[in-house]
C-alpha cells in the first residue's frame, strides 16, 4: 500500500505516556463506526471537536506509530453533518488492511467493555484493571477478559478444484471456503474434519495450517487451513444452500477485495494451480 496507513498496525495494551502529538480514534455507537459520507472510511483525528457524548475509551495500539483509541458513544448520539454510522461489516473491502486490523480490534474492545460492566457471577459493578486488559469484580474476584472465539476456515482441494459453499446469508451469487467454530475440547484439525463433513459430506486429510486472522463478527479468531479431498459425495448440511468443487479457472463469484482470510486461501490456491504446483 502507498498511503500513510501502509505500516502495519501493532496491538497495544497500555497507551504510551502523553501528551501525544496526534491520535486516531475509532468512534462506535454500539457496533456502528462513525465514518465520513463522501470520503474513504478512516479513524478520526479530533473527536473532541465533534462534540459527541462519549461513555468510555480503550487504547487499541499503534497505527503508523500513532496511538489509536476506540471510543464508545452514547446510544442516542446522531452523526455530525457529513458523517454517518456504518456497521463495520458493510465497510468490508473499503478499509485498507492496516485500518481493517485496527478497526477490528477496536470494535471488539468496545463491545467487550460495554457488555462486561457487571460481574457475570454476582452482578457487582466491575473495575478495569490497569496492567492488563481485564475487568475485575471487587466483590467475588472474578476477572473477565475480552472474549475470543476460535474458528477454522479451510480450502479443501481436489486436484485442480476447490470446494466452495454458499450460505443463504451471503449476498446473491457469492461463494466462499467452508468455516465453523471450534467446539470445547476439540483441536483445530478435528474441527476442520468435522465442519467440512457436517457442511458438505466430504472427508478430508493432509490438513495443513495456512494463516490466521482476527475477525470481529462478532469476536472470532479465524484459523486458516488447507486440506485434501479424501472421499465422499457432496451432501449439504443445514448451513449451506449449495456447495461444489470448482476448477481454479472457473470459479464463481467470491467476496471482493483481499481483506479476509477466505480470499487469501482462494487466491493462494489459484496461484499454486497456475504455477503448476
Grid cell locating 155: 480450502
Backbone angles phi, psi at 102, to 5 degrees: -65, -45
Same-domain pairing of 39 and 53: yes
- Asked if residue 161 has pLDDT above 50, the reply is yes
Nearest to 171 by CA among 253, 86, 96: 253
Cα dihedral 7, 13, 16, 20 sign: positive
Q: How far from chain centre, in Å, is Cα 277?
A: 30
| CA 110/CA 132 separation, integer angstroms | 16
CATH of residue 213's domain is: 3.90.79.10
Question: How many domains in the chain?
Answer: 3
Q: What confidence tier does 68 reach under pLDDT thresholds 50, 70, 90?
A: very high
Q: What confidence tier does 276 reach under pLDDT thresholds 50, 70, 90?
A: confident
Domain annotation covers residue 3:
no
| The pLDDT of residue 7 | 55
pLDDT digit string (tens) for 241-254?
A: 999 999 999 999 99
- Please report, to the nearest 10 degrees, the dihedral formed by the alpha carbons of residues 47, 50, 54, 59 taken in order: 0
Same-domain pairing of 134 and 179: no
Residue found under cell 467454530: 181
Q: What confidence tier does 1 reach under pLDDT thresholds 50, 70, 90?
A: very low
Same-domain pairing of 102 and 126: no
Domain annotation covers residue 225:
yes
Same-domain pairing of 154 and 257: yes
Same-domain pairing of 140 and 89: no
- Asked if residue 74 has pLDDT above 80, the reply is yes
pLDDT digit string (tens) for 84-128?
A: 999 988 887 788 878 888 999 999 999 999 999 999 999 999 999
CATH of residue 47's domain is: 3.90.79
| The pLDDT of residue 259 | 80
| The pLDDT of residue 81 | 94
Same-domain pairing of 27 and 94: yes
Same-domain pairing of 237 and 124: no
- Asked if residue 187 has pLDDT above 70, the reply is yes
Same-domain pairing of 46 and 162: no
Q: Return the beta strands (E) in the chain as ranges.
A: 10-11, 24-29, 32-36, 54-63, 66-73, 83-87, 127-128, 135-136, 143-144, 149-158, 161-166, 174-175, 178-181, 203-215, 220-231, 242-247, 253-254
Whole-prediction pTM value?
0.86
| CA 196/CA 158 separation, integer angstroms | 14
Least confident range of 31-45, 108-122, 222-236:
31-45
Bigger pLDDT: 2 vs 94: 94
- Asked if residue 188 has pLDDT above 70, the reply is yes
Nearest to 26 by CA among 49, 75, 59: 59
Bigger pLDDT: 143 vs 42: 143
Q: What is the mean pLDDT of the chain?
A: 92
Same-domain pairing of 111 and 45: yes
| The pLDDT of residue 5 | 44
Domain annotation covers residue 5:
no
Same-domain pairing of 257 and 157: yes
pLDDT digit string (tens) for 263-274?
A: 999 999 999 999
Mean pLDDT across 31-59: 90
| The pLDDT of residue 2 | 35
Same-domain pairing of 245 and 192: yes
Same-domain pairing of 36 and 142: no
Among the three residues 62, 97, 115, which one is the final residue of a domain in this structure? Answer: 115
Domain annotation covers residue 1:
no
Domain annotation covers residue 30:
yes
Q: Domain span at residue 197?
A: 149-274
- Asked if residue 182 has pLDDT above 70, the reply is yes
Amino acid at each position: 500500500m502507498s498511503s500513510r496507513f501502509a505500516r502495519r498496525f501493532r496491538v497495544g495494551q497500555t497507551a504510551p505516556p502523553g501528551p501525544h502529538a496526534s491520535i486516531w480514534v475509532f468512534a462506535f455507537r454500539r457496533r456502528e463506526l462513525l465514518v465520513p459520507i463522501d470520503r474513504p472510511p478512516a479513524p478520526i483525528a479530533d473527536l473532541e471537536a465533534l462534540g459527541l457524548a462519549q461513555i468510555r475509551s480503550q487504547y487499541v495500539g499503534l497505527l503508523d506509530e500513532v496511538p489509536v483509541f476506540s471510543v464508545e458513544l452514547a446510544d442516542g448520539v446522531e452523526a455530525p453533518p457529513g458523517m454517518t454510522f456504518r456497521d463495520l461489516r458493510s465497510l468490508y473491502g473499503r478499509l485498507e488492511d492496516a485500518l481493517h486490523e485496527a478497526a477490528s480490534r477496536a470494535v471488539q474492545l468496545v463491545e467487550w467493555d460495554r457488555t462486561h460492566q457487571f460481574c457475570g457471577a454476582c452482578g457487582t459493578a466491575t473495575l478495569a484493571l490497569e496492567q492488563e486488559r481485564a475487568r475485575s469484580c471487587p466483590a467475588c474476584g472474578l476477572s473477565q477478559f475480552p472474549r475470543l472465539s476460535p474458528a477454522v476456515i479451510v480450502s479443501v482441494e481436489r486436484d485442480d478444484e476447490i470446494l466452495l459453499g454458499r450460505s443463504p446469508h451471503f449476498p446473491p451469487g457469492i461463494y466462499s471456503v467452508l468455516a465453523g467454530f471450534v467446539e470445547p475440547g476439540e483441536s483445530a484439525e478435528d474441527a476442520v474434519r468435522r465442519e467440512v463433513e457436517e457442511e458438505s459430506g466430504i472427508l478430508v486429510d493432509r490438513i495443513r495450517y495456512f494463516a490466521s486472522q482476527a475477525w470481529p463478527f462478532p469476536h472470532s479468531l479465524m484459523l486458516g487451513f488447507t486440506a485434501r479431498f479424501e472421499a465422499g459425495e457432496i451432501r449439504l448440511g443445514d448451513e449451506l444452500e449449495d456447495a461444489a468443487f470448482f476448477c481454479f479457472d472457473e470459479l464463481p463469484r467470491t467476496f471482493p477485495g483481499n481483506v479476509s482470510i477466505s480470499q487469501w486461501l482462494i487466491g493462494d490456491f489459484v496461484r499454486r494451480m497456475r504455477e503448476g504446483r
